[in-house]
């Protein structure tokens, strides 16, 4: 049982990092639907770097770096060129899906390195994740930087008039968002499941995207959501722990996706929107053109 809980927390950590990055992105008004692509890139390059140098640190650093670069690319297209952010996000996802399949293929198989040591039975990333959530919450809601980010996401023209550099703030956020996405992918491929296989994420990035909507753009609720989905994911892999022999294991695999749709649906109902709808950044996915 303890092992199940530990694995669930490991899975939650991956959701937390990816979704937290996306949350910071969206708070500044930039939507990146390509989280899955960023994660695939971070995971694949992190895996290759770690395996060929034998250093976990280099793996994680490269994962973060490639994620940051993809964030910058997203920023260039959607902030500087003012392109449709959904199109750009789709582009990054399909680029990640296509290119990592080819690049990573020679490395198919297990990582073959000693596992990263745990702290009190849990992955070190779990503690880092919790700390990051608290820091992000504090920065976003209690500091002037956070106010800057939020105002850029709510109403960029007013922010610009009051002396905030919209472009710079958005670039900062997409880069941090990309770095966290890349790191999340690297944690997956270097710690959670250190075996490379093509398109191995199978929807983690898209669930992370849904988690951001679910969190109402609040990092603390996001942490709760990640814990929920991490446990759910782990449960769908090991259904025999709760209901042995009920339904085939393939049907269980659909459960996290069904629940994601259910959660999104609840959040889209009128009741929910009237009560909580104001949380959505007003300028989300709107390109900002300086007048």
Partner 1 sequence: MRIGSYELKLEKRLTLTGWEAAIGSILAIVVALVLFSVIFILAGINPLFAYQEIFSYAFANPYGLPLTINRFIFLLLCTSAFIIPFRAGLWNIGMTGQLYAGALGAFAVLFAFGGRESRTSDLAPEILIPFMLTAAALGGAGLGAIAGFLKGKFNTNEIVVTMMLNFIAFWLVAHMIKEGGPFMNPGGRGESFELPPSVYAPLIMGVPVTIFLALGVAILLYFAFAKTEIGYQIKAYGHSPAAARYAGISTLKIPFLVFSVGGALAGLAGYHYFAAVPGVYKIARNYGYFGDLAFYGIICGLISLGNPLAAIPVALLFGGLSIGGRFVQGKLNMGFGVDYALLGVLMIILVAFQFFYRYKIVWVKTGEERLDVGVYR
Structure token digits, residue 148 = 């800057």
Q: How far is it, in rounded angstroms, from Cα 206 to Cα 277?
A: 21
Min dist CB 94 to partner 1, Å, is: 4
Q: Which stretch binds partner 1 (CB under 8 A): 15-23, 85-93, 147-155, 224-232?
A: 85-93
Enumerate the H helices of 28-84 as residue ranges: 35-53, 56-75
Q: Up-side HSE of residue 143: CA atoms within 13 Å toward CB? A: 10
Q: How far is it, in rounded angstroms, from Cα 71 to Cα 49?
A: 20
Enumerate the H helices of 106-248 as residue ranges: 124-142, 144-154, 156-161, 166-187, 204-214, 219-237
Q: Which residue has the tokens 């297209």?
A: 77
Structure token digits, residue 83 = 């392109």
Residue 115 or 273: the one with the smaller Cβ distance to partner 1 is: 273
68 in Cβ contact with 183 (< 8 Å): no
Q: Which stretch binds partner 1 (CB under 8 A): 12-20, 44-52, 132-140, 194-202?
A: 194-202
Instruction: Draw the binding track, 117-146, toward partner 1 (x: CB under 8 A; -: no contact).
Output: ------------------------------
Min dist CB 47 to partner 1, Å, is: 15
14 in Cβ contact with 192 (< 8 Å): yes
Q: Which stretch binds partner 1 (CB under 8 A): 56-64, 123-131, 160-168, 254-262?
A: 254-262
According to the binding rule CB under 8 A, does residue 241 interact with partner 1?
Answer: no
Q: Which stretch binds partner 1 (CB under 8 A): 14-22, 120-128, 180-188, 257-265?
A: 257-265
The closest alpha carbon to 118, from 132, 131, 109, 128, belongs to 128
According to the binding rule CB under 8 A, does residue 91 interact with partner 1?
Answer: yes
Out of 198, 241, 242, 282, point to the residue binding partner 1 (CB under 8 A): 198
According to the binding rule CB under 8 A, does residue 101 interact with partner 1?
Answer: yes
According to the binding rule CB under 8 A, does residue 23 interact with partner 1?
Answer: no
Q: How far is it, in rounded angstroms, from Cα 227 to Cα 48?
A: 29
Min dist CB 142 to partner 1, Å, is: 30
According to the binding rule CB under 8 A, does residue 88 interact with partner 1?
Answer: yes
Q: How many residues bind to partner 1 according to rule CB under 8 A?
A: 45
According to the binding rule CB under 8 A, does residue 220 interact with partner 1?
Answer: no
* CA angle centred on 258, ends 256 and 261, rounded to 5°: 110
According to the binding rule CB under 8 A, does residue 284 interact with partner 1?
Answer: no
Min dist CB 139 to partner 1, Å, is: 27
């Amino acid at each position: 049982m303890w092992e199940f809980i530990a694995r669930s927390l490991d899975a939650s950590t991956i959701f937390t990092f990816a979704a937290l990055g996306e949350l910071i992105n969206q708070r500044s008004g930039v939507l990146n639907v390509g989280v899955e692509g960023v994660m695939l890139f971070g995971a694949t390059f992190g895996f290759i770097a770690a395996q060929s140098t034998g250093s976990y640190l280099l793996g994680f650093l490269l994962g973060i770096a490639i994620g940051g670069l993809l964030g910058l690319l997203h920023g260039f297209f959607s902030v500087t060129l003012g392109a449709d952010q959904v199109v750009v996000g789709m582009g990054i996802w399909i680029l990640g899906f296509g290119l990592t399949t080819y690049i990573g293929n020679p490395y198919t198989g297990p990582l073959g390195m000693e596992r990263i040591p745990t702290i009190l039975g849990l992955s070190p990333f779990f503690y880092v994740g919790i700390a990051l959530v608290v820091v992000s919450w504090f920065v976003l809601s209690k500091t002037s930087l956070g106010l800057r980010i939020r105002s850029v996401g709510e109403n960029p023209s007013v922010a610009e008039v009051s002396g905030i550099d919209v472009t710079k703030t958005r670039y900062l956020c997409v880069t941090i968002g990309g770095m966290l996405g890349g790191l999340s992918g690297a944690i997956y491929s270097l710690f959670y499941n250190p075996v490379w296989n093509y398109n191995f994420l199978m929807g983690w990035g898209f669930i992370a995207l849904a988690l951001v909507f679910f969190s109402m753009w609040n990092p603390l609720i996001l942490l709760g959501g990640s814990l929920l989905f991490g446990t759910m994911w782990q449960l769908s892999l090991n259904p025999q722990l709760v209901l042995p022999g009920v339904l085939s294991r393939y049907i269980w695999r659909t459960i996290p996706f069904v629940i994601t749709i259910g959660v999104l649906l609840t959040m889209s109902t009128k009741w929910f929107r009237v009560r909580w709808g104001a949380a959505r950044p007003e300028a989300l996915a709107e390109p900002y053109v300086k007048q």
